[in-house]
Structures are given as structure tokens and as C-alpha cells.
Amino acid sequence: MSILIDKKTRLMVHGITGREGMFHASQMLEYGTKIVAGMTPGKGGEWVLDGKVPVFDTAKMAVEATGANCSVLFVPAKAAADSMLEAADAGVALIVCITEGVPVQDMMQVRSYLDQRGTRLVGPNCPGLLTPGECKVGIIPGHIASAGGVGVVSRSGTLTYEVLYALKARGLGVSTCVGIGGDPINGTSFVDALEMFEDDARTDSVVMIGEIGGSDEERAAEFISDRMSKPVVGFIAGRTAPPGKRMGHAGAIVEGGSGLAVDKIKALEGAGVKVAEHPDAIAELVAERGRKARRRVKR
Amino acid sequence: MSILIDKKTRLMVHGITGREGMFHASQMLEYGTKIVAGMTPGKGGEWVLDGKVPVFDTAKMAVEATGANCSVLFVPAKAAADSMLEAADAGVALIVCITEGVPVQDMMQVRSYLDQRGTRLVGPNCPGLLTPGECKVGIIPGHIASAGGVGVVSRSGTLTYEVLYALKARGLGVSTCVGIGGDPINGTSFVDALEMFEDDARTDSVVMIGEIGGSDEERAAEFISDRMSKPVVGFIAGRTAPPGKRMGHAGAIVEGGSGLAVDKIKALEGAGVKVAEHPDAIAELVAERGRKARRRVKR
Amino acid sequence: MKLHEYQSKQLFAQQAIPIPRGRVAMTAAEAKSIAEELRGRVVVKAQVLVGGRGKAGGIRLANSPEEALEIATQILAMQIKGLPVRKVLVDEAANIQAEIYLGVTNDRAARRPVMIASAEGGVEIEEVARTAPSKIARLHVDPLLGLREYQARDLAASIELPREHWRAFIDIARGLYEAYRECDATLAEINPLVITGAGTLLALDGKMVVDDNALFRRPKLAEMRDLDEEAAAESEARKYGLSYVKLDGDIGCMVNGAGLAMATMDVIKLAGGAPANFLDIGGGAGADKVAAALEIILSDKSVRAVLLNVFGGITRCDEVARGILMALQDVPLSVPMVTRLVGTNEEEGRRLLAAKDLPTATTLAEAARLAVAAARQGVAA
Amino acid sequence: MKLHEYQSKQLFAQQAIPIPRGRVAMTAAEAKSIAEELRGRVVVKAQVLVGGRGKAGGIRLANSPEEALEIATQILAMQIKGLPVRKVLVDEAANIQAEIYLGVTNDRAARRPVMIASAEGGVEIEEVARTAPSKIARLHVDPLLGLREYQARDLAASIELPREHWRAFIDIARGLYEAYRECDATLAEINPLVITGAGTLLALDGKMVVDDNALFRRPKLAEMRDLDEEAAAESEARKYGLSYVKLDGDIGCMVNGAGLAMATMDVIKLAGGAPANFLDIGGGAGADKVAAALEIILSDKSVRAVLLNVFGGITRCDEVARGILMALQDVPLSVPMVTRLVGTNEEEGRRLLAAKDLPTATTLAEAARLAVAAARQGVAA
């Protein structure tokens, strides 16, 4: 098992004929993801990726013709809101928006509409999802993770890769890696992902990678304390970031008093989470917890 | 029993300090309706109707202070959309909008929002509700109906009174009378009301009064045919109306081909509904069905 | 409120929908000078608020300014379905390659706006809808989100519009939806939306109906009302918030509530008579409204009897009675009048009328019988 | 993007929010002539994009045009929190009876706009929120419906605003929400919103922050960016779509992804060093972006070593390597540089760099150690 994506995922790629869309679609295909459709208005009828993937003009047509149940978006920021709504209306259950730079007011409207319909969104401004050995939706390099029992959820993109890389180096496999993205308004929160990992039979521990800004990590700490039985290892980026300075993501603005790394770390530690000092230490902590768990089992 | 309103209804009256609001609030109070609050922005703190009803500035305050669970609106058309949204946000479960002349695009937005929240609306442009002997919400004259087993649902206002009057004259009592209003976009449809009457233990037969325009009656016919066990007597106003002429209600525009009285009557008769030729005949048909039912019981 | 073609197209143009160059003219001379400005062939189109102008000869092509003068002279002398033509629109003639239908209206059943498109525009859309429903594409719009670009694209794909026209079609569809929103319309349609020889899209004809209930917040649209196009009695009625439609019979009706008014007409017919009008005095009608309503009814010379049917809800019977008595001070009652007042404050209302010797009925059927008899007596006398 | 007070207030005025009469001045002489126009007492306010102007002496009252000249001269010579004052706003002085706070921003947790009001405006709203949270009223807005009149009224009632000011407050709140919507703001606030001696409401100070991601559709706002207020390196970075913030240390960082960039800074600190900057080259960064980033880092004279940390996702390692090599053709590498490339096409990227004798590391900790050592050697040398 895994969460969100697996071998049954039938993927549609929005913006497949663009440079990034095409590059990552070929990477996903190579990884083994079932890409059933591409979507680029005006290019319907073409076949791409060595004639393996048909392109459609509209998401509705793509879903009707191929039974796609998941959409991944490589579209310009100004088209992202429209593409998310289009995918939801076409009936896919899961939308993964890689696009960064989506206006935040667009996201509030999109979330409101998607919530009404019960469509799950991951992102925007995220690296997507990876269930090692089964399915990759997004841009996480496939070769840096192997299958296993560690669930990974992260607000960051490349920092996540660091962690996957270190886990693999220690022989630790991953159930699913969920990049939720760093934008202030997004689809899937830490709590959403933790809840899914808690319920997932394959996942036996979770790594959670947060950042300064917002209070999603604090809510996650509350959830972990109240509801999680599985061990969680955490990391918060931005301990040395000067308060109030904007750090690339809108999500990284330190909002008056709350949102500081120190508060998030305190909240997580209060919930029993082992918080790593630097990214390389995460894998070490996961391995340690694993050893302890095994020791407990042995006794 | 009855539907929508009864002795437990705790009513808030929007626009209670206006001329119509005050007149009908006093009529409702006299009838025995529990009016727990009035609502007029800027008049909070006053007491009206011989000091029996406190007035609040906002619906939220009124609901918090009095536990109102139903709102009736006597507000100007341009304030109606706002008042419906306000009542819904304040948490009442049932809103009855008497106001006529509400812009139709406002109603589409309001319905969309109310549906998200699960708030029931009756109206706008309707006479409201009457559960004889228990509660009156709106402007239906109380003295023209007595308690009994006939459920009445109608798109019309005054035509409904005709029917109630005739039913009473024949000694036939009413469980609840629901004026759904004649506007093209409204809250409660014929099907909604029929469904509630079908499930209501007190109601043993139903009178349904339609009009030309739209296709709500046709959908009701389908529902009656598929789901109703109780006898239904119908009437459709506008047999002699020239097609395409606007008849006061936006709801009475005959929309290209469908919406004609003849089609509605045919649909209802096809569903086993006895359709009266003129309003006075409705009560007669109800009485007749009642006699037949009693004869069936006797045999 | 219906808008003229030229008004609708102006509103479309405000949303960047391409329309033909052209202007409206009140006289043939004006039409000629517009044709001179436009150069080349022009179309002269009667501006009346009824359908079927084309079949009636109200839309004609002119090859020169002189011909435009001649045709405009003829059209401005026409009546179409009883309405005199007072204005013509003079538009540059278009080179038409294909005709599309595009419209947006309220879907009562779905409780949201619906956009409708068909590759077979130009003819009666209802006819296509009836005979070949698969050729009509329908798309519902979330009233809180509006028409999104992808939806307009879905529509273009649904009617199999050639892809080179998608961009233009999407912009026009979104513009049309905006016009519908901004004008509180109940209908906004372009028929035909043409593909020209130059490969562009052009709104050749336009129609809008505006929600009367929303005119309070659309003052510029309220000013567009064409008083010329309304019967004087209907304009007068509207001034007092009354809803009046002239019909062919001889029994004037004054009723509160549209449903009861229609039922009253039905019952008059069942009693062997014919209603002279539909008149709904509405809810909460005061004495002044009732007085105005009576004046309007009595100003119709074919009226031989009046049936006043009021069941008191918002409108109280005593107010109605006072309105009648007030109106009778100004308007001598030239025909018999049967009144029926039931409901709120009914005794007081009946008492007031009885004091002035006005006959009253209790049931609707009785009232209709009395009115029909009174009208016949009038004819006999 | 932060807007100046005078810009924010202009945008508020477009939504019919009452603001004091006044104008912005670039020179003291201009300030004097504005004071002459306005007559009476004026307030001279430094226009800089930082808080705490008042405490720093950047907001002062002038009783005459001469005094305005003198004060403007002083303020225009000031630096506030390191930023030189280049403009002053000269506003009519108001007769203040009470100060309210009113603002709208995005609530991340609720995923919708939140409107915040307090009867205790004028002071730091965060302070009130911390010490007396009950004095802050919060109201969430449905992003599809917008701020409705009843909600603004609820807010007025929540802060116990005297009823005679409700109408004005409701209009201002709805105007502020419109400004927030129309400008794609992430923050729009009026602090203080004052009740004047004449009993009117007036937006005495205003602040807006606009979503940079939405500037593509707000061209008029994009023009409002004050380039004077940004460090040259930050402006330069933005041109290339880079996110750059100057810091105090000596190790220049170039990283892809904000999270990894922050983690890299954290690890540098853990290794005993200090980062000279935050620099996120973003996703999909091509060679030109990387080259520009390197130029920006090397233009900082306190940089003694560079740590380039790229984990390839959207940005492919070979592209990054080519960017570095290209930049090195223009910019001689004046300090040691440690690179770390992992991820998509990593071998190709490393191969390209190794061919030019650039040192590479595999783990982040190792890279940080090497960079810190290199910076120290640089100091020792």
C-alpha cells in the first residue's frame, strides 16, 4: 500500500507539450507511471513521447477517452487556477499542481470550489508525489528513493530530495513521498498527509519537513499528539533566517510572532517528534527509531 | 405532525420595524407563532409589539440571544440576498423570504451558498408557511384554514388562499400550507415539498397548485409517479394565458414550447393526479378522494 | 425588459465582442448618411422588440447609400407584428462563411446560468433544439465562479468549431457572459455569430433581456427602455408597479397576484366570457396603486364589465376598498363592476364597498358568472 | 510588493474610502507649496517601506507652510532603519476623536480572507492582539462571495462602534475589501481609521502589500514598485526571477529551492560559518539565471567563499553546471567555490564542473564544512 498514488493511478499531464511538461512526462513514463493522456488546448489529436501518449484539447475529453483519475499540472502560473478547476470538473479525484507563482487569491477560490466537490489537491508550487517502485507524479527524481515504510511529507521541494537521498543511502525505503508545497494556500496540509500515513498499512514511520512561516506545523504537532500512533521525525528549515525577511516563498514570511522555527520545533518536540538539527540527521533519527522499534518487538 | 414549522419554531423577523414587517409580525404573534426576535440594523435594543419582541442589529446577535431557528424576511428586494445570507450564516435552519422582486442573479448566488451550507429556503416572492393551529410564518391569513390532513403546496400567493378558503368551507383541514413562490429561482421546489408531505404522518393527501412557466410541475409529476403513495390533487393556473406574454412573475414566462399549462396538466394526469378545472373544484376533488379513501377503509 | 439589437450590440462591444461597424438611424436621411460613412454594402435592419423581423421584410441589404435611403424609407413605414418601426440599424454588410448560435440564460431547473451554443446558428434556435437536440451544446456556469476559460473551450470543442477560431470564440463567450452578469440579464444571445470570409468572428445580431427586478442597480440600462415600444397603458401600469397585459376580451380584470389573476382569467373563460386584460396589482398594493389600476382598465374602450378579485394577504381588503372608492372619485364607473374581497380585513373592505352600493361576490365562480352576465347586459343594452 | 502609504491611500480613494487631502512631495519646497494649498496644520510623513516611522521621528506636525518646509527638509535627510527617505506625504491634519484598526489579509489556516477590526487602532495591532485578544474582531470572508454588507455590520457591532458610524464603516470595510481584491493584495489595512471631531471616518494611514505572483495581471500596480527602496542586488536578482536577500556573513550561497536554501544557511551556521545571503535560483532555472545569480553573489565584497548547493528536480544539474561555466567566462572567480550537485542529470553536471577543476561535495554537511574552511583560509591568506 501507499497513499494517494499507486500502480492504479491513471495520469493526465496538463501542459504536456511544453518544455517542462514534456521533460517530466518522459521521466514519469520512464519511472513506470501510467500516463494515459496529455492535455494542451489546440494540440488535441497529436501523440507525444514516441507516440505513447495521446494529447487532448480539454480535460473532459481526456477523462472521457482514457479514464484518467489523476491530473498533474505543468502550466503557466496564470493558467493554473483554470487548469485546476478544469481537472476537477472533468472528474479526476486527485490534482497535483507543480506550477509555482499561482496568485494566492486564485488559490483561495480554487480551494473553496474543490472543497465543495471533494477533489483532493496537492500543491501548488510543489514537487509532487512519489510512491517508489510504483508511481511518480511530478518532478521528484525517481532514482533517489527506494520502496519501504517511511512516509515523507514536506513543504519544501529540493530539501525533500536531500532527505530521500539520505534515507536511501542508509537503506531506508519510502512508502510515499508527498511534497505539499510551500505556498500559503495549498491543497493538502501536513495534517491531511499525516492522517493518510497513520491509516496506511505500509507506512511505519513518518518524516515531516517544515519551514518557517504559517502555523501548519503547529497544527500538525497537535494532530500527532492527539492521533498519531506511528513515530514521526521532523525538520524545520529556517532557524537562522532573520525574522520578517521574505525568503522566496510567500509561505516563508514570518508572520508577526508565530511562524518562527523555534516555536515550530518546540511544538513538535512537545508532541513527541524527534526534530533533527540538519537534514542529514533526519535519516539517522529514522534509522534509530527503527532500531528501537525492532528492539521493542524483540523483547 | 406537520412539515417545516410547528410549535417548536422559534421565529426571527427581519425588517420587523418596517410597515409590512410590523403588520404581519403582529398577525403571526396573534396566531400563536413564537416570535423570539426581530432584526433591523440600527434598531437593536428596542422592543416592539407591546414590548413582547426584542429587536437586534444583526441576525447573529439575535440567534445567539434567543435561539431562533427560523427566519422570515420582510426586507426591501435589494437587501433580500444579503438578509438570506446573513440568516444562513447566523445558523437558522429555515429561511422564509416573503420579499418579491429579488434579482434572479442574486437568487442563483444565494441558492448556491445556501446549498453548500444545507440551509433550507422557502421563497422568495412567496406567502410563506402555515401549520394551522400551531404556527404561521409569513402572510397567509390564519383564519382561512383549519388543522387537518391536507398538505398544500403552491407557486402562487393569493390563489393559495382561495384554495385554503374553499377547503375550510368543506370542512377539510390542512397539515401545512407551503407557498414556494413564483420566482424562477427559488428555495423549495414542488418536489422538495411533496417529499416532505409523503414522509409526514399527519398529511394524508396533497394539493399542488402550479402555474405556467418552467418545468417544476413536470418534475413534480415524475416524483409523484415514482415515489408518492398519497393522493395528489392539482391545479395549473394560466390555461387561457397567451403564450409568450409575460404575466407579472418572471416565473410565468412561457419558455419556448415547454411551460404551457396543457403540458403540465398532461404530465400531472399521467402521474395519476386529479387536475381541477377551476380553483373552487380543488376542494371538491379532495373531498371526493377522501370519501373514496374512507369507503376503501370501510370495505 | 427587452433591449433593441443595436443596444445589445453596444453592450456586447463594451465587453470587447466584435460587432459590425454601424449606427442606428431615426430617419431615412440619417440611414443614407451612415451608409455613406460606411462605404460598400450595408444592411438596414428594423429595430423593433419582436422576433421575425427578417421574414417580415424588416432586414434588407442595400448596395449603395441611395438604396439605403430607399430601403430605410420603406422599413421606417412598416409595422411588424403590430409594432411600428421607429428606428433602423445600418450595419456594414458582412461576408458570411458560417453562422453560429451563442447565448446565455438562466436555467430554472439547474438554478444556474446556462450557456448554449450551436454550430447551426442563424435559424430559429428553438427549432434546432426541437429537431436536432444533439446539435445544441449546453454548459452550466457556477454563479459564484463565472464562466471560466476552460468552459468556453469545452463549448467550442462541443460544437466542433475549427480550432483556429477557438481563441476568438473563448473571448466572445466570456465577454457575453460578462455582459449577462454586468447587465443582470435573463438572456444575452448572439445569433448569428458569424465566421467571416476574413476568418474572424463577428456578432451580427444581438438580443438581451434584462431582469426588471435588477434595474434599480443598473441605472444606465433603465434609461435604455424604449417607451415607444410599449402600449401606453403598459407604461402607465409600470409606473405604479402594476403588471398589465392587454388581451382581446371585454371583461376587465384586476387581481392581486399573478397566479390568481391567471386563474381568474381561466374562470372567466369557463363561465363563457373573455378577459380584456391581465392585471396584477401585486403584493402590498396601496390605495393609489388600485386607483391607477382601475383607471388603466377603464381607459380600454372594449371593457364592458370589470371583475375585481382580491384575496387579502399582504394587500389588505380595506386598503383595496379605499383604493376603489378613491379611484371612483376621479374615474366615473362607465361599466358594471363586480368585486370580490376575501382575506385580511375582509369585513371592513366589504363594508366600505357595500356602503357605496358596489355589488360583491363570495366565490370566484360566482364573481365570474356575475361579471360575464354584466358584460352581456352591457352588450344587450 | 509593499506599497507606500500614499500609494495605498490612492488605491483606497478609488474605492471611495475617505482619505485626508494631501499629496506626496520629493523636495521640501514641494512640501511647502502643498502645505500652502491645504492651509491650516499639516502632517509631514516620511514615505519609506518600513514600520516604526513615527517612533523614528518620520511623522511630524507642521503649523505653517514654513514649518512644513523645515520639517520636510529634516525628514528628507533622514534614514529610517537604514532606508533613506526620498519622499514625504503632506496631509491635512485631522481632528482625531478615536482611532480604529481595520485590515484584511489572507488567513492561511482558514484558507480564506480574514477581515480584522479593533476599536483600539493607532497602536501596534500585534501588541493588542497579544495582550488583549478579545479586543480584536475577526471575520472570515467567502472568497467567492466577497465581503457582504451584513458581515461588515457584524464587524462594526463586534467592536462596539457607535451606531451613527455604521453606515460609513460598512462602506469603508467593503471598499477596503474591494481594494484588496482588485489589487490582489495579501494585506490591506487602515491604521488608524479615525473618527474625526466632525463625526466622519477618515483613513489616516494605509498600507498594502501586493501578491508578487499576481502582478502579471495588475500592470498599473507593477509600475508602482519603488526601485529606490530596494537594494541594487535585489532588483537585479528579481529581473532574473531570482529571490535574493543580503545577510551579514561571508559565505555566499546559491541554492535551488527556498527550503533547501534555508537549510543550507542553517547547516553553514552549524558548521561554524555565517551565510552572506539567501539566494534561491528557483525551479526550472536555466544557465542565464545561474550566471546572473553568481554575478550577484560575487559582487558582494564581504563574500569569502561560495557554496553552490543544487539538488536537481525541475532544474537539471547539467544546466546548472553550464550556467556556472558560462558565468565564469564573464566573472573571474575571486573566491573559492564549493559545489554540490545531486539529482537529475547529476553525473553530467559533475563531469562538466570537474573538467574545469571545480571542487564538488556529495553531502550537504561536507559541502558546508568545505565552504567554511575555504572562507577561513581566505581570511588567513
User: Do the domain assignments include residue C147?
Assistant: yes
**Whole-number mean pLDDT of chain A?**
90
Q: Are residues B164 and B241 in the same domain?
A: yes
Per-residue pLDDT, C294: 86
Q: Are residues C322 and C373 in the same domain?
A: yes
Question: Chain A neighbours among D 38-77 (CB < 8 Å)?
Answer: none
Per-residue pLDDT, A250: 28
Averaged pLDDT, B190-201: 97
Q: Are residues B184 and B43 in the same domain?
A: no
Per-residue pLDDT reduced to its tens digit, A188-208: 999 999 999 999 999 999 999
Q: Are residues A67 and A102 in the same domain?
A: yes
Q: Are residues D373 and D236 in the same domain?
A: yes
- The separation between the first and the last C-alpha atoms of chain A, rounded to the nearest angstrom, is 28
Per-residue pLDDT, D284: 58
- Radius of gyration of chain D from its Cα atoms, rounded to whole angstroms: 25
Paired residues of D210 in beta bridges: D185
Task: Please report, as a single letter, which amino acid is at residue D60.
Answer: R
Task: Give the confidence band of C343 by pLDDT, cuts at 50, 70, 90.
Answer: confident
Residue D337, class by beta-carbon neighbours within 10 Å (0-12 exposed, 13-18 middle, 19+ buried)?
buried
Per-residue pLDDT, B25: 97
Per-residue pLDDT, D329: 81
Tell me the percentage of chain A whose pLDDT exceeds 70.
92
Nearest partner of C242 among C191, C216, C278, C210, judged by Cα: C278
Averaged pLDDT, A83-101: 97
Given a cut of 80, is residue C225 above it in pLDDT?
yes
In whole angstroms, what is the distance from residue A196 CA to residue D20 CA? 54
Nearest by CB: D154 against B60, B79, B83: B60
Query: Active site residue: D5, D92, D99, D189, which one?
Result: D189
Q: Are residues B106 and B162 in the same domain?
A: no
Chain D residues whose beta carbon lies within 8 Å of the beta carbon of residue A182: 258-259
Q: Which of D92, D111, D127 corresponds to the end of one domain?
A: D92
Question: Chain A neighbours among C 138-157 (CB < 8 Å)?
Answer: 142, 145, 148-151, 153-154, 157
Nearest by CB: C259 against B106, B108, B159: B159
Contact C248, B263 (CB under 8 A): no
Averaged pLDDT, D98-124: 89
Per-residue pLDDT, A166: 84
More confident residue, A49 or D333: A49
Q: Range of A98's domain? A: 10-122
- DSSP-assigned letters across all residues of A46-62: -EETTTTEEEESSHHHH
Q: Are residues C244 and C321 in the same domain?
A: yes
**Are residues C145 and D145, on separate chains, in Cβ contact within 8 Å?**
no
Please tell me if residue C231 touches chain B, with a CB cutoff of 8 Å.
no
Averaged pLDDT, C37-49: 94
User: Do the domain assignments include residue C15?
Assistant: no
**Are residues C283 and B237, on separate chains, in Cβ contact within 8 Å?**
no
How far off is chain B from C381, nearest CA to CA, in Å? 28
Averaged pLDDT, C238-251: 87
Given a cut of 60, is residue B207 above it in pLDDT?
yes
Q: Are residues C199 and C112 in the same domain?
A: yes
Per-residue pLDDT, B146: 94
- DSSP-assigned letters across all residues of C233-300: HHHHHHHTT-EEEE-SSSEEEEESSHHHHHHHHHHHHHTT--BSEEEE--TT--HHHHHHHHHHHHT-
Query: Active site residue: C5, C92, C99, C101, which one?
Result: C101
User: Do the domain assignments include residue C84?
Assistant: yes
Domain count, chain C: 3
Query: Active site residue: C92, C189, C229, C319, which one?
Result: C189
Q: Are residues A152 and A117 in the same domain?
A: no
ipTM value for the complex? 0.89
Domain count, chain A: 2
User: Do the domain assignments include residue B133?
Assistant: no
Q: Are residues A151 and A282 in the same domain?
A: yes
**Are residues D216 and A77, on separate chains, in Cβ contact within 8 Å?**
yes
Write a three-state SS string for chain B.
CCCCCCCCCEEEEECCCCHHHHHHHHHHHHHCCEEEEEECCCCCCCEECCCCEEEECCHHHHHHHHCCCEEEECCCHHHHHHHHHHHHHHCCCEEEECCCCCCHHHHHHHHHHHHHHCCEEECCCCCEEEECCCEEEECCCHHHCCEEEEEEEECCCHHHHHHHHHHHHCCCCEEEEEECCCCCCCCCCHHHHHHHHHHCCCCCEEEEEEECCCCHHHHHHHHHHHHCCCCEEEEEECCCCCCCCCECEHHHCCCCCCCCHHHHHHHHHHCCCEECCCHHHHHHHHHHHHHHHHHHHHC
Chain D residues whose beta carbon lies within 8 Å of the beta carbon of residue B59: 150
Q: Which three cell numbers stand for residue A238?
A: 529556517
The CATH number of whichever domain residue D257 belongs to comes to 3.40.50.261
Closest alpha carbon within chain B to C218: B103
Q: Are residues B183 and B88 in the same domain?
A: no
Paired residues of C188 in beta bridges: C104, C208
**Whole-number mean pLDDT of chain D?**
89
Please tell me if residue C23 touches chain A, with a CB cutoff of 8 Å.
no
Q: Range of C59's domain? A: 21-92
Closest alpha carbon within chain C to D142: C144
User: Ranked by mean pLDDT, which of C46-50, D55-59, D164-168 comes out on top?
Assistant: D164-168
3-state secondary structure (DSSP) of residue C376: helix
Per-residue pLDDT, B293: 66
In whole angstroms, what is the distance from residue C25 CA to residue C31 CA? 5
User: Do the domain assignments include residue A133?
Assistant: no
In whole angstroms, what is the distance from residue B9 CA to residue B37 CA? 12
Q: Are residues D297 and D172 in the same domain?
A: no
Largest CA distance in chain A: 64
Given a cut of 60, is residue B298 above it in pLDDT?
no
Chain C residues whose beta carbon lies within 8 Å of the beta carbon of residue A79: 149
User: Do the domain assignments include residue B4?
Assistant: no
- DSSP-assigned letters across all residues of A91-140: T-SEEEE------HHHHHHHHHHHHHHT-EEE-SSS-EEEETTTEEEES-
Q: Which of A122, A151, A185 corresponds to the end of one domain?
A: A122
How far off is chain C from B235, nearest CA to CA, in Å? 9
Q: Are residues C69 and C86 in the same domain?
A: yes
User: Do the domain assignments include residue A5?
Assistant: no
Q: Are residues B81 and B168 in the same domain?
A: no
Closest alpha carbon within chain C to A106: C145
Contact C2, C50 (CB under 8 A): no
User: Do the domain assignments include residue A1?
Assistant: no
Nearest by CB: C150 against A42, A44, A86: A86
User: Do the domain assignments include residue C335?
Assistant: yes
The CATH number of whichever domain residue A52 belongs to comes to 3.40.50.720
Per-residue pLDDT, C379: 53
Q: Are residues A94 and A152 in the same domain?
A: no
Residues from A in contact with C at Cβ < 8 Å = 41-42, 44, 57-61, 79, 82-83, 85-86, 89, 109, 113
Q: Are residues D51 and D181 in the same domain?
A: no
Q: Which of A73, A92, A122 corresponds to the end of one domain?
A: A122
Given a cut of 70, is residue B119 above it in pLDDT?
yes
Q: Are residues D145 and D256 in the same domain?
A: no
User: Do the domain assignments include residue C6?
Assistant: no
User: Do the domain assignments include residue C59?
Assistant: yes
**Are residues A158 and D262, on separate chains, in Cβ contact within 8 Å?**
no
User: Do the domain assignments include residue D3?
Assistant: no
Compute φ and ψ for D215, nearest 5 degrees: -60, -25
The CATH number of whichever domain residue B259 belongs to comes to 3.40.50.261
Specify whether D37 is catalytic: no
User: Do the domain assignments include residue B158?
Assistant: yes
Q: Are residues D145 and D210 in the same domain?
A: yes
**Alpha carbon of B79 to those of A44, B11, B110: distances in Å?**
48, 19, 12
Contact D22, D38 (CB under 8 A): yes
Which residue do the cell numbers 429595430 mark? C47
Task: Give the confidence band of C348 by pLDDT, cuts at 50, 70, 90.
Answer: confident
More confident residue, C358 or A108: A108
Averaged pLDDT, A71-77: 97
**Are residues D259 and A216, on separate chains, in Cβ contact within 8 Å?**
no
User: Do the domain assignments include residue B131?
Assistant: no
pTM for this prediction: 0.90
Q: Which three cell numbers stand for residue D57?
A: 521621528
Q: Are residues D191 and D315 in the same domain?
A: no
Nearest by CB: D259 against A155, A214, A256: A155
Averaged pLDDT, B129-147: 94
In whole angstroms, what is the distance from residue D375 CA to residue D377 CA? 5
Given a cut of 90, is residue C126 above it in pLDDT?
no
Q: Are residues B154 and B289 in the same domain?
A: yes
Per-residue pLDDT, A252: 36
Q: Are residues C218 and C302 in the same domain?
A: no
Paired residues of A138 in beta bridges: A128
In whole angstroms, what is the distance from residue D210 CA to residue D167 CA? 28
User: Do the domain assignments include residue B292?
Assistant: yes
Given a cut of 50, is residue C381 above it in pLDDT?
no
In whole angstroms, what is the distance from residue B65 CA to residue D149 CA? 21
The CATH number of whichever domain residue D176 belongs to comes to 3.30.470.20
Q: Are residues A274 and A148 in the same domain?
A: yes
Chain C residues whose beta carbon lies within 8 Å of the beta carbon of residue B73: none
Q: Which of D61, D92, D123 corresponds to the end of one domain?
A: D92
Given a cut of 70, is residue C95 above it in pLDDT?
yes
Please tell me if residue C166 touches chain A, with a CB cutoff of 8 Å.
yes
Q: Which of C201, C222, C243 corresponds to the end of one domain?
A: C222
Given a cut of 80, is residue C111 above it in pLDDT?
yes
Residue of A12, A60, A61, A109 to mutate, interface with C, max C Cβ within 10 Å: A60
Per-residue pLDDT, D362: 81
Per-residue pLDDT reduced to its tens digit, D297-353: 988 889 999 999 988 765 678 877 887 887 788 777 889 999 998 877 778 888 888
Q: Which three cell numbers stand for residue C148?
A: 471560466
In whole angstroms, what is the distance from residue B82 CA to residue D357 CA? 70
Q: Are residues C205 and C262 in the same domain?
A: no
User: Do the domain assignments include residue D11?
Assistant: no
Q: Are residues B58 and B171 in the same domain?
A: no
DSSP state of C303: -
